[in-house]
């Protein structure tokens, strides 16, 4: 599967609702056809065959036939797998996967009760724990199938799920923010499919229900996701004790909070109410500033905790993959909506590090947690389903990237990510990229469509020295952390060449900079026990210039599961007196570090340095 296609239906799935029915139009529109090659294509291929196609879909349907559950979350797995499988099918429309999806959706609809319920909870336990959360994922899957096939039975099933939920909440006089867990965020994240359902049916009752959910957020019992959007996400509510950590009192649950904001953005597109968008943007900025670590993820014990400042320490249950994938999805939504480069920067950082780092090399499995030091270990099975929540979530983040690599924008296109492939847009523009980025910073772009276009190139915030040539002519106005606009009359096969700044960068952390890490382009570099050298806990300093840039020498990696490897000059620090002799040590990319899933590849991102009182402020 060297060349994989996104058919036109991808554009329909990701943007038609926003563009046709919304008061607010997205700034960027996904490509209609994509063929991806190289490293990213290989990762998508591995996940496609070894995770998506390998899933026993009937096992995911089975709990819906039993309806005996009282507290667990089996009902999320069908929708998570199904939505990622639909994305995978749009990426590579294989009849075998289409048949698998068809049987899976028929199997789910067959479990729907006459009153409309699709779930696995006992009658007496409806609206409790993860019941509504599971209904959300069923609706998302049913709507994804409708978008792909226009199958009216799937749309009708989603309608019946929503109608039954609205009636049940009314009949039992239950506020949705009091149902389930985490100040109602798990249950009320059903906002997203409810808004999507309104977009497909235009039935006002669904819009009214969506607005009612948001109104309940702001009640004294609710998560107050709008009014507290200026409050640090790790401090919005008192921290519950251990017995209530995963219960209703937990208001810092990271995954569920971002899921609610995904729905709020969809509601903003429909209503145009600026407060909705502003709440999401403020929260996103706060997460980036207070929670995101060097690998582009965060959370501990599945909750926000002000974690950015603790990333040099061993953190319990760090970087849940559900959080990582949802951060990618939320950031991509904001990228589509605004066209701002900071969202693409965030997606790239997370995708190449935390997300790919949580996937096994063969694409079959996903780690539940991915630390910045230690080992990668497979997550435990949940709910006797043969997988866990993160194995179901990971591919949902993975398969969203191709749709945002090159996107249609006003009067042209935006090239958001540099990935080898071919891209055709709804406006008939065709773009070809030839690159091995981020292995190197060399990007060759060929414009295949003549005409007057504005081609926007994202210049990553870290790329301080970037050169861009059009047909060999050096361009001016290149600015890190922004798009470079190339407005001109293009001829077929006009060429753009980019040279991105791939110098190694030393980052410091700790009150006195007692930890250092090395980043190259978007990729975090890591010490790994397989690469030899002093113990990973040994204090080191690195040879860097006055601006913190580091000389890195590419080295061929003999291990087949290591993507990139570099040699750098370090100064092993010790307690003895006398000069320290330099040593060449090896670093690999974070996604490859620790990926043996055993004790042979202990790794470390943040490297300790000796505290020197003479250098302290």
Residue recorded with tokens 């995963």: 246
pLDDT tens-digit readout, 377-413:
888 899 999 999 999 999 999 999 998 999 999 999 9
Per DSSP, helices labelled H in 202-340 are 204-217, 254-271, 274-290, 321-338
Tell me what the mean pLDDT of segment 511-519 comes to: 92
Extents of the domains making up the chain: 295-404, 504-615
* pLDDT above 50 for 19: no
Instruction: Tell me the pLDDT tens digit for each residue of 28-42.
Output: 999 988 999 999 999
Q: In which band, very low, low, confident or very high, does the pLDDT at 616 lie, cut at 50, 70 and 90? A: confident
- With pLDDT > 70 as the criterion, what percentage of the chain qualifies? 96
Give the count of beta carbons closer than 10 Å to the beta carbon of residue 600.
Answer: 11
What pLDDT is attached to residue 576? 66
- Residue 540 DSSP SS3: strand
Residue 21 pLDDT exceeds 80: no
pLDDT attached to residue 481: 99
The lowest-confidence range among 42-51, 99-108, 487-496, 591-600 is 591-600
> What pLDDT score does 575 carry?
62
Report the number of secondary-structure helices (H) and strands (E) in the chain: 17, 24
pLDDT in the model for residue 466: 99
320-371 pLDDT, tens digit per residue, is 999 999 999 999 999 999 999 999 999 999 999 999 999 999 999 999 999 9
CB neighbours (10 Å) of residue 225? 25
SS3 letters across 416-475? CCCCCEEEECCCCCEEEEEECCCCCCEEEEEECCCEEEEEEEEECCCCCCCEEEECCEEC
Whether 599 shows a pLDDT value over 80: the answer reads: no
Q: Is residue 313 classed exposed, middle or buried when 0-12, 13-18 and 19+ CB atoms within 10 A define those classes?
A: middle
pLDDT, one tens digit per residue, over 409-433 is: 999 999 999 999 999 999 999 999 9
pLDDT band at 611 (very low <50, low <70, confident <90, very high): confident
């Amino acid at each position: 599967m060297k060349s994989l296609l996104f058919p036109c239906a991808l554009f329909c799935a990701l943007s038609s609702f926003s563009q046709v029915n919304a008061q607010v139009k997205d700034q960027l529109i996904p490509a209609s056809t994509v063929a991806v090659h190289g490293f990213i294509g290989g990762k998508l291929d591995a996940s496609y065959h070894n995770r998506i196609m390998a899933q026993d879909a009937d096992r995911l349907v089975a709990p819906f036939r039993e309806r005996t559950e009282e507290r667990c979350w089996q009902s999320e797995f069908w929708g998570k797998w199904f939505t990622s499988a639909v994305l995978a099918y749009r990426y590579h429309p294989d009849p075998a996967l289409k048949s698998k999806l068809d049987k899976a959706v028929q199997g789910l609809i067959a479990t729907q009760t006459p009153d409309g319920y699709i779930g696995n909870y006992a009658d007496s336990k409806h609206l409790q724990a993860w019941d509504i959360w599971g209904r959300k994922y069923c609706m998302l899957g049913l709507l994804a199938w409708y978008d792909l096939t226009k199958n009216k039975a799937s749309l009708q099933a989603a309608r019946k799920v929503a109608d039954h939920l609205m009636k049940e909440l009314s009949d039992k006089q239950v506020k949705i923010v009091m149902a389930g867990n985490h100040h109602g965020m798990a249950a009320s994240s059903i906002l997203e499919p409810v808004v999507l359902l309104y977009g497909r049916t235009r039935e006002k009752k669904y819009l009214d229900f969506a607005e009612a959910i948001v109104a309940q957020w702001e009640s004294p019992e609710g998560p107050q996701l709008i009014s507290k959007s200026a409050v640090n996400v790790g401090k919005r509510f008192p921290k519950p004790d251990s017995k209530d950590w995963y219960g209703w009192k937990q208001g810092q649950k990271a995954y569920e909070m971002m899921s609610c904001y995904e729905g709020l953005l969809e509601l903003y597109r429909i209503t145009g109410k600026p407060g909705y968008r502003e709440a999401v943007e403020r929260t996103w900025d706060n997460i980036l500033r207070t929670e995101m670590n060097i690998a582009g993820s965060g959370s501990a014990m599945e909750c926000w905790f002000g974690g950015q400042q603790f990333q040099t320490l061993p953190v319990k249950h760090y970087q849940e993959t559900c959080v990582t994938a949802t951060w990618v999805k939320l950031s991509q939504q904001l990228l589509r909506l605004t066209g701002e480069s900071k969202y693409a920067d965030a997606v790239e950082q997370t995708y190449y590090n935390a997300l790919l780092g949580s996937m096994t090399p063969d694409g079959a499995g996903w780690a539940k947690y991915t630390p910045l030091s230690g080992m990668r270990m497979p997550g435990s099975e949940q709910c006797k389903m043969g997988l866990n929540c993160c194995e179901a979530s990971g591919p949902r983040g993975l398969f969203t990237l191709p749709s945002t690599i090159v996107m249609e924008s006003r009067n042209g296109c935006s090239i958001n990510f540099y990935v080898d492939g071919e891209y055709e847009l709804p406006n008939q523009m065709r773009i070809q990229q030839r690159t091995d980025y981020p292995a190197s910073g060399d990007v060759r772009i060929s414009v295949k469509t003549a005409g007057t276009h504005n081609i926007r190139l994202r210049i990553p915030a870290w790329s301080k020295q970037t050169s861009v040539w059009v047909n060999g002519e050096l361009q001016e106005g290149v600015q890190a952390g922004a798009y470079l606009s190339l407005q001109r009359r293009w001829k077929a096969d006009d060429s753009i060449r980019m040279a991105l700044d791939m110098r190694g960068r030393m980052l410091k952390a700790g009150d006195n900079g007692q930890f250092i890490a090395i980043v190259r382009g978007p990729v975090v570099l890591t010490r790994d026990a397989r690469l030899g050298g002093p113990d990973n806990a040994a204090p080191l300093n690195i040879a860097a210039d006055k601006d913190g840039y580091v000389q890195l020498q590419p080295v061929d990696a003999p291990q087949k599961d290591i993507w990139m490897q570099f040699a750098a000059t370090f100064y092993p620090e010790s307690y003895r007196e006398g000069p320290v002799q330099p040593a060449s040590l090896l670093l690999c990319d974070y996604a490859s570090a620790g990926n043996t899933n055993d004790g042979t590849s202990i790794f470390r991102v943040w490297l300790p340095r000796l505290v020197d009182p003479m250098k302290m402020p």
